[in-house]
Amino acid sequence: MATTSSVASTPTLGSDIPVTLTEETDPGLRRRRTILGGVSVVAVAGLAAYAAAQASRVDEVDPPVPIAFAGRGGGAVAQGSPAPDFSVPGLDGANVSLSSYAGQPVWINVWASWCPPCRAELPDIAALHRELGGLAGRAPFALMLVSVGEAADDVRKFVERTRFSLPVLVDTDYRITESYRVSGLPSHYFVGADGTLRDFAIGGLKPRAMRARVERLISAAPS
């Protein structure tokens, strides 16, 4: 009588029998788990750090609207470095340059009428400008509101509709975006009376942060 031997079949990948990998059957599993665990810890730590950084800024700056520009290379302007000069026309067609305010602190706001955080902060900019005497005589600081990438007629209609009495300039060719390496709207640059960049903020400034930066700019100017 023939004897039939029973041989246990070994499950293989691709067969209908489910395969359970363990650290004993797959020596590389332990290493992969260790790597994935390390990556998870780093990712969680990174997200926590980002959340903490954002939480610390929540009372100061709203997130900007990212924009892209065709730059020629080079880095962003650094705090304490000379602020690049630029010249753009106002709504009346007359050119206004940063250098025309030499010896006076200047607050440059780069914005666009289609940008929600830009529109949201305009009432606060207008209120602070009025309060600190920005429209009468020799003001303690100059304000340059530079709209980028928009036709002058579109900007004019927006200003007339909102009725903000502010010194609006129109940079249809993104000249300031190129020289200041603007990456998001709105962007704020605070130039000292000596022509150096004293401070900047990328994103919409809350009223308290706006006031603090302008007051520091004014107090640093020679009397």
Tell me the pLDDT tens digit for each residue of 86-140.
999 999 999 999 999 999 999 999 999 999 999 999 999 999 998 886 544 457 8
As a whole number of angstroms, the distance between CA 211 and CA 220 comes to 14
Burial (Cβ within 10 Å: 0-12, 13-18, ≥19) of residue 107: buried
Burial (Cβ within 10 Å: 0-12, 13-18, ≥19) of residue 218: middle
Omega into 27 within 30° of 0, i.e. cis? Answer: no
Strands 95-97 and 106-111: unpaired
- CATH fold for domain 62-219: Glutaredoxin (3.40.30)
- Under DSSP, is residue 184 helix (H, G, I), strand (E, B) or coil? strand
Q: Which residue ranges make up each domain of the chain?
A: 18-58, 62-219
For residue 204, what are the β-bridge partners? Answer: 62
What per-residue confidence (pLDDT) applies to 213? 94
Q: What is the residue-averaged pLDDT of the chain?
A: 77
What per-residue confidence (pLDDT) applies to 77? 79
| Residue 30: band (very low, low, confident or very high) from pLDDT cuts 50, 70, 90 | low
Show the tokens assigned to 98. 């940063």
Show the tokens assigned to 145. 């509101």
As a whole number of angstroms, the distance between CA 169 and CA 92 comes to 9
**What mean pLDDT is predicted for residues 190-194?**
96
- Let me know: does 190 contact 105? Beta carbons within 8 Å: yes
- Under DSSP, is residue 187 helix (H, G, I), strand (E, B) or coil? strand
As a whole number of angstroms, the distance between CA 22 and CA 29 comes to 7
